[in-house]
């Protein structure tokens, strides 16, 4: 069913072992074939699949080759990533944000930044940090922000990612009046680990599609999304222009004399928080060798 010539079947949501597949004839609930478990492949939202009816139930029989895939948030075949950051409640977690920008760039996607909650706490340098690094930054509370963001989302699959409670679902509700996503105040009592959005879900709008995703508050670059020590300098757009310009050819840009990157941090051309993230991620990666893991 739905194996048409023009419309491809796509997983729009996976929850509790079920996958919801949008076909030319509507959305159907499916289960993956046991074979995927055996070869350790988990279907992801965004996957293009083949499905078959077996005794009235639908099963996924094939997952088409992915253009790319993310583990956090879990989604495949992504065209664009918006990293949502709030000025406060929660305040920015630079390590997570900067791991996220690096992972996106590694996967060939230059992410965009959306800043929320500037009505609660004014943006005191947050957008500057990311603009200086070369990212496009939109403050959702500024005039024309909605128009600007929708314009950037046209064509393909956009993903809203970021810490829990930053306002991903709230922004999407505001951008698209046909959406009515669940949102919730972050509760101080419940504290960490409270996620309002429970699963990735893909929604269509005129001109594209967008995924709302559950927030996260850490990224394990060791086990989940490997970043190798020698590639991290290439994944920070404000650092990569200085590769090869330091006194030592194998400069790690963390403590060496004659380091061109450290010079730029001193002269404030490179933001301190971004540089600190670079050093932290690099340190974390130093214990890992490429053959210990497969990505």
Of 215, 232, 239, 264, the residue at the interface with ligand GTP (CB under 6 A) is 215
Residue closest to 165 by CA, chosen among 182, 180, 179, 148: 182
User: Which one of the spans 10-18, 182-190, 254-262, 284-292 is the region binding ligand GTP (CB under 6 A)?
Assistant: 182-190
Which entry of Zn ion, Mg ion, ligand GTP, none binds 253, CB below 5 to 8 A by partner kind?
A: Zn ion
116 binds, among Zn ion, Mg ion, ligand GTP, none (CB under 5 to 8 A by kind): ligand GTP
Peptide bond into 47 cis (omega under 30): no
Mark residues 243-282: x for contact with Zn ion by CB under 5 A, - for none: ---x----x-x-----x-x---------------------
Beta carbon of residue 250, minimum distance to ligand GTP (angstroms, whole number): 40
Classified as helix, coil or strand, 149 is helix
Residues 158-187 touching Mg ion, rule: CB under 5 A, are: 168-169
Q: What tokens were used for 90?
A: 């929660």
Q: Which of 44, 145, 166, 210 binds ligand GTP (CB under 6 A)?
A: 166
Q: Which of 80, 168, 253, 264 binds ligand GTP (CB under 6 A)?
A: 168
What CA–CA distance (Å, rounded) separates 9 from 248? 52
| Closest distance to ligand GTP from the beta carbon of 217 (Å) | 10
Tell me which of 23, 77, 196, 225 binds ligand GTP, using CB under 6 A. 196
Asked if 64 and 36 touch (Cβ cutoff 8 Å), the reply is: no
Rounded (5°) CA angle 34-63-295: 95
Exactly one of 119, 131, 230, 272 binds ligand GTP (CB under 6 A); which one? 119
From CA 81, how far away is CA 101, in angstroms rounded? Answer: 9
The phi and psi torsions of 127 (rounded to 5 degrees) equal -65, -35
Binding ligand GTP (rule: CB under 6 A), the pick from 99, 106, 117, 253 is 117
246 binds, among Zn ion, Mg ion, ligand GTP, none (CB under 5 to 8 A by kind): Zn ion
Distance CA 82, CA 274 (A): 18
- Out of 101, 138, 196, 221, point to the residue binding Mg ion (CB under 5 A): 196
Dist CA 129 CA 274 (whole Å): 8
- Residue closer to Mg ion by CB (options 170, 271) is 170
Q: Where do we find the tokens 């989604």?
A: 75
Which residues touch 281 (CB under 8 Å, ≥6 apart)? 95, 98, 99, 102, 221, 227, 232
- 147 backbone dihedrals φ, ψ, rounded to 5°: -60, -45
Contact of residue 251 among Mg ion, ligand GTP, Zn ion, none (CB under 5-8 Å per partner type): Zn ion
Got the DSSP string for 88-148? Answer: SSSPP-HHHHHHHHHHHHHTT---EEEEE-TTTS--SSHHHHHHHTT--EEETTSTTHHHH
Rounded least distance, CB 92 to Mg ion, Å? 17
Contact residues for Mg ion, defined by CB under 5 A: 168-169, 196-197
Contact residues for ligand GTP, defined by CB under 6 A: 116-117, 119-120, 140-141, 164-170, 183-186, 195-197, 214-215
Contact residues for Zn ion, defined by CB under 5 A: 246, 251, 253, 259, 261
């Amino acid at each position: 069913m739905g194996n048409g010539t023009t419309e491809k079947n796509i997983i729009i949501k996976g929850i509790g072992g079920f996958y919801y597949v949008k076909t030319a004839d509507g959305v159907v609930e499916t289960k993956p074939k046991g074979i995927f478990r055996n070869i350790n492949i988990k279907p992801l939202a965004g996957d293009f699949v083949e499905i078959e009816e077996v005794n009235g139930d639908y099963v996924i029989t094939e997952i088409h080759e992915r253009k790319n895939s993310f583990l956090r948030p879990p989604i495949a075949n992504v065209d664009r990533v918006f990293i949502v950051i709030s000025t406060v409640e929660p305040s920015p977690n630079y390590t997570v944000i900067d791991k996220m920008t690096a992972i996106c760039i590694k996967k060939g996607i230059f992410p965009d930044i959306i800043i929320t909650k500037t009505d609660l706490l004014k943006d005191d340098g947050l957008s500057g940090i990311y603009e200086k690094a070369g990212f496009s930054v939109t403050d959702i509370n500024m005039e024309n922000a909605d128009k600007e963001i929708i314009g950037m989302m046209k064509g393909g699959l956009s993903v809203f990612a970021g810490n829990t409670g930053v306002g991903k679902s709230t922004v999407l509700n505001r951008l698209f009046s046909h959406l009515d996503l669940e949102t919730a105040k972050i509760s101080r009592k419940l504290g960490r680990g409270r996620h309002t959005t429970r699963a990735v879900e893909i929604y269509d709008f005129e001109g594209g599609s967008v995924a709302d995703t559950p927030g996260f508050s850490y990224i394990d670059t060791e086990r989940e999304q490997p970043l190798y020590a020698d590639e991290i300098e290439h994944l920070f757009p404000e650092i990569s222009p200085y590769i090869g310009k330091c006194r030592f050819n194998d400069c790690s840009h963390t403590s060496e004399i004659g380091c061109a990157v450290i010079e730029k941090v001193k002269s404030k051309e490179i933001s301190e928080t971004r540089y600190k993230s670079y050093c932290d991620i690099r340190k974390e990666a130093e214990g890992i060798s490429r053959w210990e893991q497969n990505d």
